[in-house]
Structure 1
Amino acid sequence: MTKTAILILAAGNSTRMGEIKQLLPYGNSTLLQHAIRHAKNSIAEQVFCVLGARSTRIQKSITEAIVFIQNKNWQDGLSSSIACGVENIQLMDFDSILVMLADQPKTDTAYLNLLIETSVKHTNKCVASDYGTKNGVPAVFPKAYFKELINLKGDRGAKILLNATDETVIALDAQDKLQDIDTPEDYARLLKK
């Protein structure tokens, strides 16, 4: 049986939003709480969340039982959060890690399960979300990629790994699941739907 962990990235400073994005109201909770619930309802064995900027305030707002990982280098960008999270999780006995963002509220449990189920059938490949012109997260990385993830640098995340050859990456049609909430305009559009 393949064991998958979910790693939610929520360490950013929300500069473009102008307020703490993770705590923005959405549904009957917040953007981060919403992401955590969908992750916890999935078939993954355990859910982890990387925090950085304003971590104490954000952590206090979460009512779900979840493992938080502190990224002291969150200013170094998305890659540092992935590296920090994977470095902590690799010490446990997981076969793969699904990396997702806290600010993609349309990413639901069914889609997370589809990613995990696909990775179980293709244990040596990354399973990414197809953005049309490129692949990105949410994505599942098998254990063979953990070292590369820990060595990531900059704010590009795992794009290089996810846009390699078809032999190493399976890209799933994410349909409308990938709307990022980065600006007040993005948030306003989300609430109108």
Structure 2
Amino acid sequence: MTSVTSSPSSSSSSVFVGLLLAAGKGSRFDPSGADNKLLAPLSDTDDCVVVAAARKLLAASPALAVVAIVNSLQGEVALRLSAMGCQVVECSDAAEGMSASLMCGIRHTKDAAGWIIALGDMPHVQTSTHGGLLAALKDDVDIAVPVYLGKRGNPVAFSRKHLDDLLQLSGDRGARALLKSSPVNEIPVNDPGIHRDIDTRADLAASGGTD
């Protein structure tokens, strides 16, 4: 796997990074925190939720460096993702919201040419969607989002032009503000998975999961 590790003295590279955000608490799935939704098995594959999401991202291109952001309590998630070939980064302030996890990943890979921001609880996004976003970045698109049936979804891609903006995010809304304030290139896809995340046990059951 191609890797990107930032350093104060290094210059920007031509490497693109897939950031897999997997540091959330998943409190809607299990308020007690006992069951991690990312480790819930999917009955239509041999994978759990986060492994399925990572597998699709890893398959997009051998040249795409995949970096997973986890929190300090997700030892099993970290082990599984590392075994697949993902770089794993622990976010110390993940409890502050998705923006904290995203900024952690951007800081860790700040010399990348661009990023595909993927979510660890979206296992049904197709590899071709990741590939389309990567192609857009390589064509010098600054922001790209997939669109299915006229509705935008995830993941979202950003060129390094937006590095400073991404490092100044706050709250639990990720990069949504950037999508509202900047020109966005919409990529039509035949992929309902861009709208399907696993927030609750009902979502898991509807996605072919087991409870």
Compute the TM-score of the two structures, normalised by the length of structure 2. Answer: 0.81
C-alpha offsets along residues 69-109 of structure 1, whole Å, 9 cap, x if unaligned? 1111111111111101001101x4x2101100011111121
C-alpha offsets along residues 141-174 of structure 1, whole Å, 9 cap, x if unaligned? 1011111111110001000111234xx2112234
CA distance in structure 2 between the aligned counterparts of 1:189 and 1:112, rounded to whole angstroms:
23
In structure 2, the residue corresponding to 1:25 is in which secondary structure? Answer: coil
* 1:115 aligned residue: 133
Retained in 2: the 8 A contact 1:135–1:163? no
Q: Are 1:60 and 2:72 matched, yes or no? A: no
* 1:140 aligned residue: 157
CA distance in structure 2 between the aligned counterparts of 1:173 and 1:17, rounded to whole angstroms:
30
Retained in 1: the 8 A contact 2:24–2:95? yes
Deviation at 1:59, TM superposition (A): 1.4
Q: Determine which of 18, 22, 26 is the counterpart of 1:6.
A: 18
In structure 2, the residue corresponding to 1:48 is in which secondary structure? Answer: strand
Deviation at 1:22, TM superposition (A): 1.1
Retained in 2: the 8 A contact 1:13–1:53? no
In structure 2, the residue corresponding to 1:33 is in which secondary structure? Answer: helix
Q: Determine which of 48, 55, 58 is the counterpart of 2:67.
A: 48
Decide which structure has greater strand share: 1
2:66 corresponds to which letter in structure 1? V
CA distance in structure 2 between the aligned counterparts of 1:60 and 1:39, rounded to whole angstroms:
17
Instruction: Write out aligned runs for 1:1-193 (5 A).
Output: 2-18=14-30, 19-26=35-42, 27-43=45-61, 44-52=63-71, 54-62=73-81, 63-90=83-110, 92=111, 94-121=112-139, 123-130=140-147, 135-165=152-182, 168-174=183-189, 175-178=191-194, 179-191=196-208
Retained in 1: the 8 A contact 2:142–2:162? no
Divergent runs of 4+, >2 A: 60-63, 129-137, 172-175
In structure 1, the residue corresponding to 2:155 is in which secondary structure? Answer: strand
Aligned-pair identity (%): 24
- TM-align CA RMSD: 2.1
